[in-house]
Amino acid sequence: MLTVRTARADDVGAIVRLERYCFPPEVAFGRSRWHYLLNQAKGRTLLLQDDKEQLLGYLSVLEHRGWDRLVIQTLAIRWTVRRQGWARRLLEQVISEGRAAGWGAIRLEVADANAEALALYQGLGFRAQLRLPDYYGPGQHAHRLVLPLVAGDEGAGS
């Protein structure tokens, strides 16, 4: 059985290992970035674990009061549990909590080449707002997607 819980500072080692497993070195967050996300940043990271507490996925989201939005920093699911709806469940939890807390929108960036992620985000109502040439490196383009959480926020900025 898989469960979701909020990450703690002592989860950094397991998170970094999964990050390096799921992402190429040029885009993977390092230990110092994860230390910041877990200990200093305003936001939270949700972990997906099995019954042996093995980390199988995570979603990290930051609060940006100046833009009245949540910013998804990263989302990863280990290949052994992909296509089982776990990324969707983590996203739905963040969307629900964001709406309940009165946030205006959720923003994220996604690689153009990641068709599965694009389909997932668009299926949840995220819409392309800005094209980001070379965002992940030369020739590795991305899009910024935004999901309004309140009616009438569809044209909101960054």
Average pLDDT, the chain: 91
pLDDT of residue 153: 52
Residue whose entry in the numeric block shows the structure tokens 């939270």: 44
User: What's the pLDDT tens digit per position in 118-148?
Assistant: 999 999 999 999 999 988 888 989 999 999 9
Question: How does pLDDT run across 30-61, given as a tens digit for each residue?
Answer: 999 999 999 999 999 999 999 999 999 999 99
Is the predicted pLDDT of residue 154 greater than 70, yes or no?
no
pLDDT recorded at residue 66: 82
